[in-house]
Amino acid sequence: MPSAANQHAATMLIRKLESIATLTQAERQAIERLPLRINHLNARNDIMREGDKPTHCCLILEGWACRYKLLSQGKRQIFSFHIPGDIPDLQSLLLPTTDHSLATVTKATVAFILHESLRALAADFPSIGALLWRDTLIDAAIFREWMIGIGRRSAFERIGHLFCEMYLKLQAVGLAADFRCPMPITQTDLADALGLTSVHVNRVLKEMRGRTLITLRSGTLVIERWNELLQAAEFNPTYLRLEKQAA
Amino acid sequence: MPSAANQHAATMLIRKLESIATLTQAERQAIERLPLRINHLNARNDIMREGDKPTHCCLILEGWACRYKLLSQGKRQIFSFHIPGDIPDLQSLLLPTTDHSLATVTKATVAFILHESLRALAADFPSIGALLWRDTLIDAAIFREWMIGIGRRSAFERIGHLFCEMYLKLQAVGLAADFRCPMPITQTDLADALGLTSVHVNRVLKEMRGRTLITLRSGTLVIERWNELLQAAEFNPTYLRLEKQAA
DNA sequence: CGGCATGTTGAATCTAATCAATCCACGTGG
DNA sequence: CCACGTGGATTGATTAGATTCAACATGCCG
């Protein structure tokens, strides 16, 4: 008899997978039987560090996480932000040694799933395996989009782009609506994700506010003019492969 | 009866997969039976364009290719360079619509493999499926490393990093040795891959030559001082997950 | 041999980084 | 309830790395 918390975690995963393809009854049941270990974590806690050899994957149930790598002289590059429903370290199933770190951004609840359990699930239900693989491919597509930003877009476009991306990802799992979403990251986090300094991020945010494109206060982002921001950032959401789109 | 060219293509793929795991006799035979269509392409030819819905994957047999995306005002971001043995568009197996383009860099020979054939192969031999998945995960790891470069490394480090990466990748498939490898890309290509301008690339290359770290002439790179370049670029090859390492 | 892509160089300019100070909101403990 | 500490945000002044624009050189290919 699974606990309420476990049931909730399974539902989360099912919802995420069903946003792409419909699952059979048997597949849903198999996911619900997945053994989970649920954990509550503080903000800014490493879940996994570069060099680790994890034995389970981590499903985010509440809060945000990010993947990053530290460099010499305190430099940091953040690769991705993760929200409930994400499994940020799915790759550890096939690449035993991790080449980067995973940490919570906010207080968070996560469920750990043994590699063996996930592997068995994918073996028993190849279409679930394909969905998991697909998810890592979308992950890579987002990396590519971030590369474009860091490499070829202005600071303004980069920040606007990230806001649009996170809003749509949150909306897709029901955590955002009406152009309003949580954005519980510091300007330093933003800078380290986008290849900027926090000082410069601050100045660009000031400009965005000045043009009344956004409001960003106490961890909440409001996109005041979606279409204009989209255009200013040259944002095109197809790479996210989401079913539902914003208005 | 497979032609000599087809046999060569299969060998290429087998060698690539066996650089990671050993294949059974049955697996090797299945790969050799894979139906292929071999094509000779000129340099700077698109193999696949953003928005396409490919029906096959592309195995590179000779020459180089790159994945890229064009932006407004003629800006371009190159995501990756590909060498013989690579299947740059494996993701199209699971993401029907392509979100970027793939083009030859040099004259090239490629083998096209129908999605159905690859899917059948992966279904019949799940361990081959896992190897293919694994390959896309390494792809993503390389994207992350490039993100670090573009986001947080100096132009000098970025270029040095790319040289080390390509040398090791080429060495792993027997196309480089003695710190000498082909590097058939223009300074503009380098710039578009690393988030720089060609003018600046040119200046950094001049500095590298001045410090006698490298020689780069007529499409051939010689790394004159491997250890120093490694250190100057803070290069750590673990993310490539290659079996063989340079001295 | 001529033409065009690629590579090289210089000078001026600009974006974003750096360094440093200050401000503000928030939570905590006296 | 207010003083204090702290992390994050904001602002200014200055600098550096990279871009831009423009000219010119080189080398390869037909």
Chain A residues touching residue B73 (CB < 8 angstroms): none
pTM of this prediction exceeds 0.85: yes
Q: In the complex, which nucleotide's C1' lies nearest to the CA atom of residue B218?
A: D27
Where are the domains positioned within chain B? 4-140, 154-240
**pLDDT for the residue A2:** 64
**pLDDT for the residue B247:** 36
At what angle are helices A25-32 and A4-18 packed, to 10 degrees? 140
Mutate to test the interface with A, among B53, B87, B148, B154 (most CBs of A within 10 A): B148
Domain A154-240 fold is Arc Repressor Mutant, subunit A (1.10.10)
**pLDDT for the residue B37:** 96
Average pLDDT of span B161-187: 95
Q: How many angstroms separate the CA of A218 from the C1' of D3?
A: 24
Asked if strand D contacts A107 at the CB level, meaning under 7 A, the answer is no
DSSP lists the bridge partners of residue A199 as: none
Task: Give chain A's length.
Answer: 247
SS3 state at B216: strand
Domain B4-140 fold is Jelly Rolls (2.60.120)
With b for 16 or more beta-carbon neighbours within 10 A and e for fewer, the B46-61 pattern comes to ebbeeebebebbbbbb
Q: Residue A7 and residue A22: Cα distance in Å, rounded?
A: 19
**pLDDT for the residue B59:** 97
- Print pLDDT tens along chain A (247 aa): 568 889 999 999 998 898 878 899 999 999 999 999 999 999 999 999 999 999 999 999 999 999 999 998 889 999 999 999 999 999 999 999 999 999 999 999 999 999 999 999 999 999 999 999 999 999 999 999 999 999 999 999 999 999 999 999 999 989 999 999 999 999 999 999 999 999 999 999 999 999 999 999 889 999 999 999 999 999 999 999 986 544 3
Q: In the complex, which nucleotide's C1' lies nearest to the CA atom of residue B219?
A: C6
Residue of B21, B26, B94, B23 lying closest to B57 (CA atoms): B94
CB contact under 8 A, B234 and A71: yes
Asked if strand C contacts A199 at the CB level, meaning under 7 A, the answer is yes
Cα separation values, A125 from A7, A26, A55, A208, Å? 20, 9, 21, 47
**Residue the block writes with tokens 């990671």:** B20
Q: How many angstroms separate the CA of A210 from the C1' of D10?
A: 15
Mutate to test the interface with B, among A147, A159, A201 (most CBs of B within 10 A): A147
* Residue type (1 letter), B73: Q
Asked if strand D contacts A80 at the CB level, meaning under 7 A, the answer is no
Task: Give chain B's length.
Answer: 247
